[in-house]
Structure 1
Amino acid sequence: MSKQPITSQDLRKLNVLNDPQLSPDGGTCAFVRQYITDEDEYTSHLFLQKIQDDTPEQWTFGEGTVSSPRFSPDGQWLTFVSKRGTQKTPQLYLLSLNGGEAKSVTHLENGAGQPIWSPDSSRILFTTSFEKGDLPSTSIDDKKEKQTEKSQPLIVERLKYKSDAAGFLDQKNKQLAIYHVDNETTEFITDEEFDHEPSSWSPDGEKVCYFSNKQGDDKLVSDIYLLDVHSKKDKQLTNGKGMFSHGTFSPDGKTVACLGHMKEFAGATHSKIWTIDLSTNETSCITEGWDMNVSDSCIGDIRSGQANPGPVWTEDSTSIFALASAWGNTELYQVHLNGEVQPMTNGQHHVFGFSIHEETKTAIIGVSSPTNPGELYALSLETKKSKQLTFMNEQLLKDVQLQEPEEILFKGKDGLEIQGWILKPVGFKEGESYPGILEIHGGPHAMYGNTFFHELQLFAANGYAVFYSNPRGSHGYGQSFVDACRGDYGGMDYEDILSFTDAVLDHCPWIDEKRLGVTGGSYGGFMTNWIIGHTNRFKAAATLRCISNWISFYGVSDIGYFFTEWEVGTDLLKDPDKLWNHSPLKYVNKMETPLLIMHGEKDYRCPVEQAEQLYVALHQRGQEPRFVRFPDSNHELSRSGAPHLRQARLKELTDWFEKHLQN
C-alpha cells in the first residue's frame, strides 16, 4: 500500500511521548503517552517499559491525564500527577511497584503538582496553591459545597494580574508542601505571597532547593533559595539581579548547580550553568566560555509544556548533564566543572528529554526529527550509541508520506551566515512548477530545527514548497546573533527573511515566484504583518496570534510592560514614536496582499485586540481580510488548543492558500 499525504486529521493519530524517567536500578523506564481521543479530548497515560523489552506496558487507563512520573529512590513506589473522572484539579497519586491500584494521596481544592522524592523515599515535595495565611484543608470533602454565586468585580492591585496560561490571576500563589508516605499526612512548608518552584532535596533530606521572584512584579528576577524543611527558614543563594532556576544539589551536598543568566541581553540572554559553593556562597559560571544557550530552544507544534530536567549531576559531583541547542539541533551534553564540554548525542535531531542512570552507563533520551514525531531511545553513555526503545508512532509513519528537509545556508544582506530549510511538495516532479509558503517562527528568540512540525508537513502534503529559517534573533548561533534583532524589529531581521526567500528561489527555480505565501505566529505574525506593509512580492499572507501595534501591546499583553522595552528598545512612557515606527499598523495603507487573520479569544500574550485593530484598519481602506476568531483559545492554540479548533485552524490556513496560490 502506498503512503498517503499527511492530513489535519492525522493529529489524532499522533502519540506524543514525554518525561522519560529511569528506575533506581536502571532497568525500567516510565514515561507518559499523550493522544487525542474520539471525544476530542487530550488523554495521557503512564507506561513502564523494561530496557531489555520490545514493548511497553500501560499502567493507567480510562479518561483523564497523567504527568510527572517519579520513582522513589528505594524503587518501591511511583508517584505521578493525575486528573481523573470527576476531579476538578490534578492530584498526587502513589502506585506500589509491587502491584495494586494507584491511590490518590492528596485531596486539595487547588490540586497538586511537580512531585520530587526525598532521598530516603519517606516524603514527596510538591506544589499546591493557596492565598497567604489561608492554609487549605487536606480533604476536598471537608469543604462545604459552595452555592452558586453571582459574578463579582476583579480587584486589580498588582502589575502582573493576568497570564496567558492561567488567565486572570487571583491572590493564590504556588506554595511548597510535603506528603509524608508513612503517616499519609500533608505538611505545608511555605506560606508567602510569592510563587515557589521546587527543584531538589539535599542529600541528607534536611533542605529543599526552590526558585522564586520575591521582589515584586516590576522586578524581573528569579533567585535560588534553600529552605530548611523543619524550621521553615530559607536562605537566598543568588544575588537578586538575574534569572536563575532549577537549583539541584550535588550528590556530595557541597554545591548547588542551576541554570540562569544576569540579564545582560534581557530576554535574549543565553542561559548558562552556574554552581554555588554552599560553604562560601561563591557563585561561578562554568559555561562562560561556551557560546551556547543551555536549554531546549527547538520548537515544534505537537508538544507543549514539557518538563525541564535542569542540570543533572554525575554521582561523583564532578560534572553535569544538560540540554543545549545549536544550528537546528538540540543535544545532550556533559559539562565538567572545569568548563570542558562533551557531546553525548550527535545527529540531525531534537533531544527533548532525558534521564540518566550512571551505574549502568545508560540514558533514556526522547528524540524527534522532521520525519519522527518522537520516540524514546536507550543511549550508552560509554559508546554514545543508541537503541530505539519505543515505536508508538510506527503505524502512522507507515501510513503517511513525510518530507525530509534540505538545509540551505545563505548570507544575509550584511554577510551574516544564516541557516534555513526547505521541504519539497509531496509528489514533486522535475520540470513542474510549484507555489511556495514561507513560515516564520515566533519568539523571536526560538529556533526552527530538526524536529517534527505537523503544520510544515501539512503544507508540503498540499503541494507547496515550504521554506523556513532562523533569522537573526533566533537561538542556536551564539549570543550576538540572538541579540541582534532587539531594538531593530523589522530591520535586519526583515532583510534576513527576504534574503532567505531570494536564496530559496535561486536554489529552487521550480518554485513559482509569483505564487508565494507567507505566514507566522506571534513574532512570526508581527513579521508577516511587517512584510506585507513593506513589499508586495507575496501573493497571500496569513497572520497568526500577531502583534500589530506596540503602543497598545505595552498595556494589554501579560508581558507587554517589560517585553516591549526588552525587544523594541523603549516603552510607551519613554518614546511612543519609536513604538509606532516599529508597529505594522503604521504601514497599513501600503498593505495590498490578501490577508487571513487568525487569533484566539483568550490570548493574553498577544491579545485579540492586536488582530482587531489590523482588521478594522484594512477594512477601512477597502481591503477584504478574512478574520477568524477561536473561542476559549490562548496563545498556545496551535500546540495545545482544543483538537477540533486546531484542525479548524489548519483548514483555514490550507483553504486560504489554496484559494490564492493554487490558481
Structure 2
Amino acid sequence: MKRKFNPEDVNNFVFYGKISISYHGDMIAFTTVKPDRSNDRYDVRVRVVDLKGYPIYVSPGPYDVSFVWRREGSILLYQRISEDKKTSEIRLVNINKGLDFVVAKLGNPATSLTWLDNETAALIIPTKLYKEEPGVHIIRSWPIWFDGTGFVYNVRSQIYLLDISSGSLKRVTQDEYNYTFMAADPYGRYLISSVAKDPSKPYKTSLAIIRRNGDIEEINLGRDIWIGPLAVSPSGRYVAFMGRVNEKGKGFASHEEIWLLDLDSLRLESLTRSLGLGSSRRVYYDIRGPGASEPAPVWDGDEHIYFSVSKGGRYSLYRYSMKTGSIEPVLDGEYVVWDYDVRDNIIVYIKTSSTEPLEIWMLEPGKEPVKITRFNDLIKEYKVSEPKHFIFTASDGAMIEGWVIEPVDREEGRRYPAILWIHGGPKSKFGWSFMFEFQLYASNGYAVIYCNPRGSDGYSENFADIRGHYGERDYQDIIECLDQAL
C-alpha cells in the first residue's frame, strides 16, 4: 500500500549533479548527493556506470565533487573537499586498474577543474591578495553582489596548472581579477576563460586566452557581456558559451543566450536570439544539494552544439547545426533536463518530471529514451498527486502558466485549504519538475496553487522585465491565477 509523505522522507531521495560521458563513450560519470542526517551534512560521491547503468566505481566520499574525464583512457580527476570546506585534495582514479590516489592538496578548494592535456590539469582557485594576521581583517575594498561565500574582499579566483606526475602547482595568472569559467583547447595549447575585472560590475566580463607561460591575450568582443559556462570545439577554432548582454536596456531581465565565437575572425553571433528564450536553468526543484552547476554547451564533434532552452515550464535540450545553421529541439516535453552530455550522437541526461525525481536517461539515435539509474525508484512507494496544468489569459491579454496540486485522497464535494505558493527571483520559474515540499502539503490535506507571473523566466524578456514595478503586474497575475484555479 502506498504511503503519504512525511518531512523526514526528503532524506531518502538522491540528487544528481553533473554528468559526463567518457571520451571513448563507454562509461558515464556523475555525482550523487544525499542528506546524511546522522552527521548533519551532505554525502557527495562521484559514480561511474556503463551505458546500461551497471556500477563500475563509487568514490569513498563524503564530499567528492568537480570531476572531469581525461581525453585518453579511463582516467578521472576529481576533488575531495574537507568537512570544514577549507581545504581539498585533487585525486586521480584509474577506473580500469582500480587505482585512486592523491595528486595534490589545496589550501583552498578549487571552483573549477579541467584537463589541459593528459599530464596537466587546470584549476581555478580562490587566492588571497595579501596576508593577514589570524583573526584580523584588513579591508581595503568592499566588493558587492556576493552572497553566502564569506569574506571576499581579499580573495580573487586565479588559474593554476597542476602537474599530475609530480603534484606541483603553478600559478599562471598573476593579477587581481576573478577568473570564473574556463575550458581547454583540445590540443593543450591554452585555456580560455571568462574574467571579471571590475569588482563593482561582476555582471560584466571579458574573454581571455591564457597560455602555459602566463601570457594572457584578451579578446575584444565589442560589447558589454556576462560570460558563463563555455566549451571549445574539437577543432579548437570555435568557442560556444552562455552569455548575457544588456543591449535592450533590460538589465538582469535580459536572457542568457548561447553565443558562438570564431577565434580566427573574432566573429561573434547569438545562436538563440531568434528563439526569444533564455538558456539559464532557473526552474525550481527542491530535492537538491551541492554540485548543481549550470550546464555548459556541449560539442558533438565539430558538427553540432547542444544547449539548454528555458521554455515556459520546461527546460529542454536543443541542437544547433554548424553546417546548416538550423536549430532543433532534441528533448522537449513536460519535464526538465537538468544536465546532459553528448558523445557520437548518444545523449545521456538527468531528467525530472512533476511526478518523478531526477534520474539518468540515455537516448541513442533511432531509439526510445531509456532510464539507466534508479536511485529514486522509492517514489513508487508514495502517493504522488499529479499537478494539473492550466494556461489562462490575464486581464491585460498576456498568457500565464499555472498548476494546481490537489490533496492526496481528495474526496469530491469536500472543502480543503489551499496554499498559494509564490516563487522568488529575480527571474526564476516553476515548471515540470518534482517538488517534494508541494507533495508534502498534498499529503497533509492541502491543495497547492502556483504559477509563473510577470517577472518569471521561460518567456520573453518583456515578460520578465518588471524592474521598478515589483508587486504591481506580477501581483495581479498571481491573484488572477488564484481566481482561475478556484
Question: With structure 1 as the length reference, what TM-score do the two structures score?
Answer: 0.69
Q: For the residues of structure 1 that align with 2:458 and 2:434, how far apart are their CA atoms?
A: 17
Aligned-residue CA RMSD (Å): 2.1
Alignment correspondent of 2:43: 43
Alignment correspondent of 1:313: 299
In structure 1, what residue type is equivalent to 2:167? E
Report if the CA contact (8 A) 2:386-2:405 is conserved.
yes
User: Secondary structure, in 3 states, of the residue corresponding to 1:102?
Assistant: strand
Q: For the residues of structure 2 that align with 1:444 and 1:163, how far apart are their CA atoms?
A: 15
Per-residue deviation, 1:258: 1.7
1:48-447 mapped onto 2 (5 Å cutoff)? 48-53=48-53, 55-61=54-60, 64-84=62-82, 88-118=86-116, 120-132=117-129, 149=134, 151-153=135-137, 155=139, 157-160=141-144, 163-218=146-201, 220-239=203-222, 241-263=224-246, 264=248, 265-304=250-289, 305-315=291-301, 317-337=302-322, 339-358=325-344, 361-380=345-364, 382-383=365-366, 385-395=368-378, 397-447=379-429
Q: Which has the higher contact order (CA 8 A, sep 6+)?
A: 2
Q: For the residues of structure 2 that align with 1:87 and 1:489, how far apart are their CA atoms?
A: 37
Q: For the residues of structure 2 that align with 1:450 and 1:87, how far apart are their CA atoms?
A: 33
In structure 2, what residue type is equivalent to 1:445? K
In structure 1, what residue type is equivalent to 2:139? I
Per-residue deviation, 1:22: 0.8
Per-residue deviation, 1:504: 0.6
Structure 1: state its 5+ residue gaps.
135-145, 506-663
**Deviations along 1:382-402, whole A, 9 cap, x unmatched?**
23621000000112x132211
Q: For the residues of structure 2 that align with 1:71 and 1:191, how far apart are their CA atoms?
A: 28
In structure 2, what residue type is equivalent to 1:341? I
Q: For the residues of structure 1 that align with 2:201 and 2:99, how far apart are their CA atoms?
A: 47
Q: For the residues of structure 1 that align with 2:418 and 2:16, how far apart are their CA atoms?
A: 32
Structure 2: state its 5+ residue gaps.
none
User: Secondary structure, in 3 states, of the residue corresponding to 2:106?
Assistant: coil
Report if the CA contact (8 A) 2:87-2:105 is conserved.
no
Seen in structure 2, the aligned counterparts of structure 1 residues 260 and 384 have a Cα distance that, compared at 3 Å, is farther
**Deviations along 1:81-117, whole A, 9 cap, x unmatched?**
1125687423321111233442222222112342111
Report if the CA contact (8 A) 2:353-2:433 is conserved.
yes
Q: For the residues of structure 1 that align with 2:361 and 2:109, how far apart are their CA atoms?
A: 32
In structure 2, what residue type is equivalent to 1:21? S
Q: For the residues of structure 2 that align with 1:312 and 1:16, how far apart are their CA atoms?
A: 22
Seen in structure 2, the aligned counterparts of structure 1 residues 57 and 8 have a Cα distance that, compared at 3 Å, is farther
In structure 2, what residue type is equivalent to 1:405? P
Seen in structure 2, the aligned counterparts of structure 1 residues 183 and 41 have a Cα distance that, compared at 3 Å, is closer
Q: For the residues of structure 1 that align with 2:104 and 2:220, how far apart are their CA atoms?
A: 31
In structure 2, what residue type is equivalent to 1:311? P
- Larger strand proportion of the pair: 2
From 452, 460, 470, the equivalent of 1:489 is: 470
Q: How many residues align?
A: 481
User: Secondary structure, in 3 states, of the residue corresponding to 2:198?
Assistant: coil
Q: For the residues of structure 2 that align with 1:441 and 1:411, how far apart are their CA atoms?
A: 20
User: Secondary structure, in 3 states, of the residue corresponding to 1:496?
Assistant: helix
**Deviations along 1:599-641, whole A, 9 cap, x unmatched?**
xxxxxxxxxxxxxxxxxxxxxxxxxxxxxxxxxxxxxxxxxxx
Per-residue deviation, 1:61: 2.5
Structure 1 vs Structure 2: percent identity of aligned residues? 26
Per-residue deviation, 1:231: 4.3
Per-residue deviation, 1:52: 2.6
Q: Rg larger in 1 or in 2?
A: 1
In structure 1, what residue type is equivalent to 2:338? F
Q: For the residues of structure 1 that align with 2:143 and 2:212, how far apart are their CA atoms?
A: 31
In structure 2, what residue type is equivalent to 1:261? R
User: Secondary structure, in 3 states, of the residue corresponding to 1:366?
Assistant: strand
Seen in structure 2, the aligned counterparts of structure 1 residues 153 and 297 have a Cα distance that, compared at 3 Å, is closer
Q: For the residues of structure 2 that align with 1:488 and 1:85, how far apart are their CA atoms?
A: 43
**Deviations along 1:169-222, whole A, 9 cap, x unmatched?**
241211111112233322111122121124211122111111111133147402
Per-residue deviation, 1:153: 5.0
Q: For the residues of structure 2 that align with 1:168 and 1:158, how far apart are their CA atoms?
A: 9
In structure 2, what residue type is equivalent to 1:176? I
**Deviations along 1:456-514, whole A, 9 cap, x unmatched?**
1111111011010000111112222122x222111111110110011011xxxxxxxxx
1:640-659 mapped onto 2 (5 Å cutoff)? none
Q: For the residues of structure 2 that align with 1:332 and 1:70, how far apart are their CA atoms?
A: 22
User: Secondary structure, in 3 states, of the residue corresponding to 2:107?
Assistant: coil
Q: Once superposed, which parts of structure 1, at least 4 consecutive aligned residues long, lie more than 6 Å away? A: none
Q: For the residues of structure 2 that align with 1:310 and 1:78, how far apart are their CA atoms?
A: 19
Q: Which region of structure 1 is more displaced relative to structure 2, 407-416 or 198-207?
A: 198-207
User: Secondary structure, in 3 states, of the residue corresponding to 2:277?
Assistant: coil
In structure 2, what residue type is equivalent to 1:17? Y
Q: For the residues of structure 1 that align with 2:348 and 2:459, how far apart are their CA atoms?
A: 27
User: Secondary structure, in 3 states, of the residue corresponding to 2:464?
Assistant: helix
In structure 1, what residue type is equivalent to 2:485? V
Seen in structure 2, the aligned counterparts of structure 1 residues 86 and 411 have a Cα distance that, compared at 3 Å, is closer
Report if the CA contact (8 A) 1:81-1:113 is conserved.
no
Report if the CA contact (8 A) 2:88-2:107 is conserved.
no
